[in-house]
């Protein structure tokens, strides 16, 4: 029996409305290349990752230039290492599920899938190593996450603090989120209203493992996040 393999799946069909840009945020330039290219390069260069799938919208006009290998591209060649699935859905769940369906011919149910946000360009090989080491023998799977350190406030309809929320045991979810192909597909098919893969698995009554992540693995959501993400990337490259 062959050992399980590891595949990356990047849902990249979002429009990034909160960024207020004229193009999807995953194509914003950071430290010399598109945000999505940073993500793809990290997985393509990692020896444990068998293959990477990027799920984009059917009318995406940026992905071909982003994955093109040429003399000016910094990072590993993506040819033969990345497959583009042009079947993105209206939600993250649907894009991931469509990606899983496209991956089916190449994966066994016991193979691992690492689902990662296209807008988290600060992912490093060390974080991928940490997640795989912590989860590869787990019966359920797991995800990178950070313990919440800030004091949490619940606000009312007038944006006034009405309660302090205990932060003990609270974690902020990151990605990659790593689950076996068969389990993840089953969980997403059953859970219609979830915001991440771990939530779908939790809805099955299972408990994904929390693996400490990193602040550099931040999600770029607002315009001000771009400068901070670029700072992390330049610091890593220096």
pLDDT in tens, 16-67: 545 555 678 899 998 889 999 999 999 999 999 999 999 999 999 999 999 9
Residue 18 confidence (pLDDT): 52
Q: Is 0.85 topped by the overall pTM?
A: yes
Residue 11 confidence (pLDDT): 97
Any alpha helices (H) in 106-218, and if so which ranges?
125-135, 181-190, 197-202
Do residues 73 and 33 make contact, with C-beta atoms less than 8 angstroms apart? yes
Query: How is residue 83 annotated by DSSP?
Result: E
Residue 238 confidence (pLDDT): 43
91 pLDDT higher than 70: yes
Task: Tell me if 1 is assigned to some domain.
Answer: no
Task: Tell me if 38 is assigned to some domain.
Answer: yes
71 pLDDT higher than 60: no
| Residues in Cβ contact with 210 at an 8 Å cutoff, skipping those fewer than 6 apart | 142, 143, 145, 171
Average pLDDT over residues 168-183: 97
pLDDT in tens, 212-226: 999 999 999 888 888
Number of domains comprising the chain: 1
Residue 215 confidence (pLDDT): 94
Do residues 38 and 30 make contact, with C-beta atoms less than 8 angstroms apart? yes
Map residue 144 onto helix, strand or coil.
Answer: strand
Residue 23 confidence (pLDDT): 75
Task: Tell me if 131 is assigned to some domain.
Answer: yes
Task: Tell me if 66 is assigned to some domain.
Answer: yes
Q: Looking at residue 32, which CATH number applies to its domain?
A: 3.90.550.10
Assigned token pair, 55: 């799920």
Percent of the chain with pLDDT over 90: 79
From CA 13, how far away is CA 117, in angstroms rounded? 10
Task: Tell me if 53 is assigned to some domain.
Answer: yes
Q: Collect contacts of 70-75 with beta carbons under 8 A, ≥24 apart.
A: 73/33, 74/32, 74/33, 74/41, 75/33, 75/37, 75/41, 75/44, 75/45
pLDDT in tens, 103-148: 999 999 999 999 999 999 999 999 999 999 999 999 999 999 999 9
Task: Tell me if 21 is assigned to some domain.
Answer: yes
As a dihedral over the C-alpha atoms of residue 3, residue 86, residue 65, residue 234, rounded to 10 degrees, the angle is -50
73 pLDDT higher than 60: no
Angle (nearest 5°) at CA 157 between 154 and 159:
60
Map residue 152 onto helix, strand or coil.
Answer: strand
Residue 236 confidence (pLDDT): 60
Task: Tell me if 62 is assigned to some domain.
Answer: yes
Residue 98: which domain range? Answer: 6-237
Task: Tell me if 143 is assigned to some domain.
Answer: yes
From CA 226, how far away is CA 170, in angstroms rounded? 26
Average pLDDT over residues 88-103: 96
Q: How confident is the model at residue 87 (pLDDT cuts 50, 70, 90)?
A: very high
């Amino acid at each position: 029996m062959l050992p399980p393999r590891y595949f990356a799946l990047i849902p990249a069909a979002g429009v990034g409305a909160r960024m207020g840009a004229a193009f999807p945020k995953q194509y914003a330039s950071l430290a010399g290349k598109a945000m999505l290219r940073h993500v793809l390069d990290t997985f393509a260069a990692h020896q444990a990752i068998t293959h990477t799938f990027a799920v984009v919208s059917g009318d995406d006009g940026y992905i071909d230039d982003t994955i093109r290998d040429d003399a000016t591209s910094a990072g590993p060649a993506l040819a033969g290492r990345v497959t583009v699935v042009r079947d993105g859905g209206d939600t993250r769940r649907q894009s991931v599920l469509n990606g899983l369906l496209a991956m089916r011919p190449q994966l066994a149910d016991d193979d691992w899938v690492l689902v990662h946000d296209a807008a988290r360009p600060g992912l490093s090989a060390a974080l991928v190593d940490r997640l795989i080491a912590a989860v590869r023998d787990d019966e359920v799977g797991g995800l990178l996450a950070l313990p919440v350190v800030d004091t949490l406030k619940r606000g009312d309809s007038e944006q006034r603090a009405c309660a302090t929320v205990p932060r003990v045991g609270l974690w902020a979810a990151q990605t990659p989120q790593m689950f076996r192909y068969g389990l993840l597909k089953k969980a997403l098919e059953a859970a219609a209203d979830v915001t991440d893969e771990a939530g779908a698995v939790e809805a099955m009554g299972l408990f994904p493992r929390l693996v400490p992540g990193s602040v550099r693995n931040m999600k770029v959501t607002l315009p001000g996040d771009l400068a901070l993400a670029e700072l992390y990337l330049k610091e890593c490259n220096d």
